[in-house]
Amino acid sequence: MKKAKTFESKFDTVEVCFSPLGNCESLIINSFNSARENIDAAIYAFTSYNIADALVKARKRGVNVRVILDGEFGRTVKPIIKKLEQNGIYVLYDNNLKATMHNKYAIVDDSLVITGSYNWTKGANSFNYENLLILRSGELARIFKENFDKMWTEFR
C-alpha cells in the first residue's frame, strides 16, 4: 500500500475561492497568464473557453502546456480539445474504462499548485458550489508533478 506524502511547508501565498460567482475562473486565468515555463493540468471537466484561451496564450508565449483529461469526459468536449491541440498543446486521455480520472489540478512553473473541487466549467463558475485553492510551494508542486508525470507516462 502506498503512503500519503507528508511534508512541512510554509506557503508563500495561499488564495482561496468559492463558487458560484467567486471569480475563481479569473484566478486560474491570472495564474496561467503569469506562467513562464510550464503548465501541467489534470482536469476532469473542462468546458471553459476562457481558460482554454489562457492556455493557448501561454503556449504562444513559449510555455510548455500539457493537459490530461478523463477519457469519457474528454470525448464530450471536442471543440475545446481541438482548440488546444491546434495551438500546440499536448492533450492525453485517461482511457481506463474501469476508473475515472477525477483530478482537478494544475501546476504552474513548478512552484504553484491550483487545486480543489472546482471544475473548469461555466457551471462551476456560475452555479455550482465548488472551491479552489492556489498554493505557492515548490515542494507541493513537486509532489503534484510526480503524480502528473506518472499519469502522463501511463496514458501515453
The set of catalytic residues is 102, 104, 109
Fill in the amino acid letter for 90. Answer: Y
Residue with cell 499548485: 113
| β-pairing verdict for 38-43 and 64-70 | parallel
Grid cell listed for 54: 489562457
Q: Where are the alpha helices (DSSP H) in the chain?
A: 24-33, 49-60, 71-74, 78-86, 122-126, 138-155
With CA atoms as reference, report the closest residue to 26 among 56, 61, 60, 50. 50
- Report how far Cα 44 is from the mean position of its chain's Cα atoms: 9
Grid cell listed for 142: 513537486
